[in-house]
Structure 1
Amino acid sequence: MTIRTRFAPSPTGYLHVGGARTALFCWLFARKHGGTFILRIEDTDLERSTAESVNAILEGMTWLGLEYDEGPFYQTHRFDRYEAVIQQLLDQGDAYHCYCSKEELDAMRAEQMERKEKPRYDGRCRHRTEPREGVAPVVRFRNPDEGEIVIDDIVRGRVVIKNSELDDLIIARSDGSPTYNLTVVVDDWDMKVDHVIRGDDHLNNTPRQINILKALGATPPRYAHVPMILGSDGARLSKRHGAVSVMQYRDDGYLPEALLNYLVRLGWSHGDQEIFSIDEMIALFDVDNINHSASTFNPEKLLWLNHHHIMHGDPTHVAHHLRYHLGQLGVDPTDGPEPADVVVAQRERCKTLVEMAQASAFFYKDIHGYDEKAAKKNLTADSATALAALHDKLAALSQWEKVALHETVNAVAEELGIKLGGVAQPLRVAVSGTSVSPPIDATLALLGREKTLARLQQAMEYIKNSTKG
């Protein structure tokens, strides 16, 4: 049997952390078993679904690299199919028209609460044979009165729900549009989904969906209800905890594989291992090892993982993502060193790609000013001699490479009888505008001869003008 999983978000907002984790678990399970991963857009909430949200979901999936094998399927394109299934259930006697008004339902629930009963629809329209004039009916599924539903949940174990606890849910609204619990059943059935991995907030829907599937003569899939993600305060994860759009993490300088590595450990484990490549996730992931308890979102750990993946990732791959962040700063990555070389030079000190882009912009863009504190300390009359000597010696170099650059800086320090820092630090400020950069030889090698000499000239002019009078 070929495994078939699906990720089925509602396009009423962005792709958030919880949704991304669900998508990842479904994707990993399908990939591990050589199965099929389906993307379905559940857009039947016509008032709240937007094209912008659909685009945000697709963009997030693409950035994360969670490629789907089938889809995206849109529920709004399948209304004829849902209508046919609703009619089938009506013809079988497994559904009926309900003409109850809102006022009637409100009164019924109020009476039930007065009697300290659980509010639920009492089935009063089950045996109605005549329509109510002037009222557009909904369609309700006729839930079995007796027996129980047994859910052999992969994560939670055996869950038993008595049918007497369930009421007759609405499967079609008064305007004829289908509801979630109907559409998801038909889609999973038609798309031959055999494993449904989703958040445990859907567990209450599962017995209802199983009953509809059985009424249609379909075999229910296996279910795995994943515990929710909590914030550090123990409350359900929200925006204030970091539950922002997946693309916000892109904009904040995170690598997609770092976020995936973090998400896979939110509710799943393989011994004490913390660092996973994508291939390792696929090889090791198993739904059986999903934790039973909720996970806590930890932004500091995510940042640590991001730095690890920047440090140990293929520089060419990291540079692919760095280019975007350089572009956000108005930098054309072709106007300077290869971004992969910049990654190698900067990765130890930069935890995010935003930091790396900001710290590396000077390689590509002209300097129009200096950090005030750094300039006051390093671009002084005393350092002018060293900068002039550096300019002349560097201009005379036959090869512009790290060893020769390092030796030149050392030679100037020895000739002037000063410590290396007394030469290297003014040089660093002169070429980068700040007191922080990669090692000076690597900095000069990346910057290139022409820019280095021009910036030394610029710094000497700055010193001259700032020490006048």
Structure 2
Amino acid sequence: MKIKTRFAPSPTGDLHVGGARTALYSWLFSRHLGGEFILRIEDTDLERSTQKAIDAIMDGMNWLGIDWDEGPYFQTKRFDRYNAVIDEMLTAGTAYKCYCSKERLEALREEQMARGEKARYDGHCLHEQCNHADNEPHVVRFLNPQEGSVIFDDKIRGPIEISNQELDDLIIRRTDGAPTYNFCVVVDDWDMEITHVIRGEDHINNTPRQINILKALGAPIPEYAHVSMILGDDGQKLSKRNGAASVMQYRDAGYLPEALLNYLVRLGWSHGDQEIFSVDDMKQLFTLDAVSKSASAFNTEKLQWLNHHYINHLPPEYVAVHLSWHIHEQGFNTQNGPQLVEIVQLLGERCKTLKEMAESCRYFYEEFDEFDADAAKKHLRPVAKEALDLARAKLSAISDWSVENVHHAIESTAAELDVGMGKVGMPLRVAVTGCGQSPGVDATVHAVGKSRSLARIDRALAFISERESQQ
């Protein structure tokens, strides 16, 4: 049997981490077994579905690298197919027209709830043989079995049984002629030959209804797996406040797709004690057997740890491509200065996100307006003038501008003045970068470049002289 899975989001908003994890699990399951994965846009909610949301879903999947073999399919383009199946069901007697008014249905609901019963349709239009005009407003209901139970073996949660008496005759076509979500899903899974439906646990209640419709159509029943919810940092249901940002917001915040994928796969799945998984690892190792029934807790610190790992372990050339997007967003030009690969190597250990790296590297390319006040107060003092003067002279004399030669110039300055390296390195760092923190001062001075470093030392010396004159 050819394995075929699907990701079927409703385009009513961005692709958030919960949906992304569902897509990832479904994709990995098919890839692990050499199957196919399709993308289906379930846009039957015409009022809430938007093209912007469709674009956001596709952008998120593309950024994560979750590719699809078929699609995207759109339910709104398949209404003729759905209605043809409904008409066949009306003829076969597995569906019927319902003419009940909203007032009758509301009164029925209130009566049932007053008796402590579950609100459900009573089959009035199935049993009452009334004459109605063809153009009289009506919905179409599925004739749900009233005997027995629906039993399915959830691939994550184990056997689940729902009595058919708990299910009513759900509407499969509205008064306006539009087919409903639960029905469209069934026909799609049938037509698209889906073998495994992997989705969130909020769909468990839909599954018995969909299985009954599939049985009525004589269609094969897929295997079902319902993934548990994700809780936020605070242990509450995931929301925008506690971690439920959209996938693209994580990109904007400076995360690499590999880090987010690695983090999402571990939100409910494990393989021993292993924490780091490449995409190839995931495809090779992922099985539904290892997915937990329990809810998973989002942990931003863990995601940052993974991101820091990938910044430092992926090829710097690749990381630099993602960094360039963030630098563009910061709005500065990197033509005059070191290659971005060098920035990744210099700042990788210090930065947890690429956004932080982009914010930290501006001084390599652009002049800063002023020195950091605290750093200048501490390190650009009259006592630093001699060290900066001598370091400038030695740096100016370098003909082969290399990290080794820059290091030697700084080291020999400290030796000649008989002071510790910090007495030279810290004033030099503040002079060249404008702040008190940077990678190694020799590598930083080298990356900033000879002429720019010398000009900034001159500026620092002028700053010290002005400070002296004001004392």
Whether these two folds match at TM > 0.5 is yes
User: How far is the alpha carbon of 1:218 from its aligned partner?
Assistant: 0.7
> Does the CA-based 8 Å contact 1:99-1:132 persist in structure 2?
no
The range that moved more, 200-209 or 304-313, is 304-313
User: How far is the alpha carbon of 1:374 from its aligned partner?
Assistant: 0.5
The 2-side partners of 1:405 and 1:302 are apart by 37
Deviations 1:93-115 (A, max 9, x none): 11111111111111001111122
Deviations 1:161-183 (A, max 9, x none): 22121100111111111111011
Q: Which residue of 1 aligns with 2:423?
A: 422
The 1-side partners of 2:397 and 2:233 are apart by 59
The 2-side partners of 1:90 and 1:465 are apart by 92
Q: Which residue of 1 aligns with 2:175?
A: 174
The 2-side partners of 1:51 and 1:98 are apart by 33
Q: Which residue of 1 aligns with 2:395?
A: 394
1:98 is aligned to 2:98 = yes
Q: Which residue of 1 aligns with 2:45?
A: 45
> Does the CA-based 8 Å contact 2:233-2:243 persist in structure 1?
no
Q: Unaligned stretches of 5+ in structure 2?
A: none
Q: Which residue of 1 aligns with 2:59?
A: 59
What amino acid is the match of 2:95? A
Q: Which residue of 2 aligns with 1:193?
A: 194
What amino acid is the match of 2:19? G
What amino acid is the match of 1:219? P
User: How far is the alpha carbon of 1:332 from its aligned partner?
Assistant: 2.4
Give 1:353-368 correspondences, 5 Å limit. Answer: 353-368=354-369
User: How far is the alpha carbon of 1:454 from its aligned partner?
Assistant: 2.0
Q: Say what the alpha-carbon RMSD is for the aligned residues.
A: 1.5
Give 1:202-217 correspondences, 5 Å limit. Answer: 202-217=203-218
Q: Which residue of 1 aligns with 2:304?
A: 303
Give 1:333-352 correspondences, 5 Å limit. Answer: 333-352=334-353
User: How far is the alpha carbon of 1:242 from its aligned partner?
Assistant: 0.8
User: How far is the alpha carbon of 1:335 from its aligned partner?
Assistant: 3.0
1:254 is aligned to 2:255 = yes
The 2-side partners of 1:446 and 1:82 are apart by 63
User: How far is the alpha carbon of 1:117 from its aligned partner?
Assistant: 1.1
The 2-side partners of 1:348 and 1:455 are apart by 25
What secondary structure does 1:146 align onto?
coil
The 1-side partners of 2:247 and 2:14 are apart by 8
The 2-side partners of 1:140 and 1:366 are apart by 70
The 1-side partners of 2:305 and 2:136 are apart by 60
The 2-side partners of 1:381 and 1:135 are apart by 94
Matched-pair identity in %: 58
User: How far is the alpha carbon of 1:132 from its aligned partner?
Assistant: 6.4
What secondary structure does 1:47 align onto?
coil
> Does the CA-based 8 Å contact 2:157-2:226 persist in structure 1?
yes
Deviations 1:110-152 (A, max 9, x none): 1111221111011111144522698521111111121221111
> Does the CA-based 8 Å contact 1:405-1:445 persist in structure 2?
yes
User: How far is the alpha carbon of 1:412 from its aligned partner?
Assistant: 1.1
User: How far is the alpha carbon of 1:15 from its aligned partner?
Assistant: 0.6
The 1-side partners of 2:2 and 2:324 are apart by 39
Does the C-alpha gap of structure 1 residues 132 and 384 become closer, same or farther in structure 2, counting only changes over 3 Å?
Answer: farther
What amino acid is the match of 2:165? S
Does the C-alpha gap of structure 1 residues 86 and 2 become closer, same or farther in structure 2, counting only changes over 3 Å?
Answer: same
The 2-side partners of 1:209 and 1:129 are apart by 29
What amino acid is the match of 1:102? K
What secondary structure does 1:126 align onto?
helix
Deviations 1:367-408 (A, max 9, x none): 221100101111222222222222221121121111111110
1:69 is aligned to 2:83 = no
Give 1:259-270 correspondences, 5 Å limit. Answer: 259-270=260-271
> Does the CA-based 8 Å contact 1:337-1:446 persist in structure 2?
yes
The 1-side partners of 2:211 and 2:135 are apart by 34
User: How far is the alpha carbon of 1:413 from its aligned partner?
Assistant: 1.3
The 1-side partners of 2:63 and 2:292 are apart by 27
User: How far is the alpha carbon of 1:223 from its aligned partner?
Assistant: 0.5
Give 1:123-272 correspondences, 5 Å limit. Answer: 123-127=123-127, 128-131=129-132, 135-272=136-273
Give 1:99-114 correspondences, 5 Å limit. Answer: 99-114=99-114
> Does the CA-based 8 Å contact 1:327-1:333 persist in structure 2?
no
> Does the CA-based 8 Å contact 1:143-1:211 persist in structure 2?
yes
What amino acid is the match of 2:166? E
Aligned pair count reads 469
User: How far is the alpha carbon of 1:353 from its aligned partner?
Assistant: 1.2
Give 1:14-33 correspondences, 5 Å limit. Answer: 14-33=14-33
The 1-side partners of 2:61 and 2:25 are apart by 13
Q: Which residue of 1 aligns with 2:13?
A: 13
Length-normalised TM-score, structure 2: 0.96
User: How far is the alpha carbon of 1:232 from its aligned partner?
Assistant: 4.1
User: How far is the alpha carbon of 1:464 from its aligned partner?
Assistant: 2.8
User: How far is the alpha carbon of 1:234 from its aligned partner?
Assistant: 3.7
Runs of 4+ in 1 over 3 A off after TM superposition: 132-135
Deviations 1:233-282 (A, max 9, x none): 44321112111111111111111111111111111111111111111111
> Does the CA-based 8 Å contact 2:233-2:300 persist in structure 1?
no
Deviations 1:426-457 (A, max 9, x none): 11111111010000111122212222122222
What amino acid is the match of 1:436? Q
User: How far is the alpha carbon of 1:212 from its aligned partner?
Assistant: 0.9
User: How far is the alpha carbon of 1:322 from its aligned partner?
Assistant: 1.1
1:380 is aligned to 2:397 = no
User: How far is the alpha carbon of 1:91 from its aligned partner?
Assistant: 1.5
User: How far is the alpha carbon of 1:51 from its aligned partner?
Assistant: 1.1
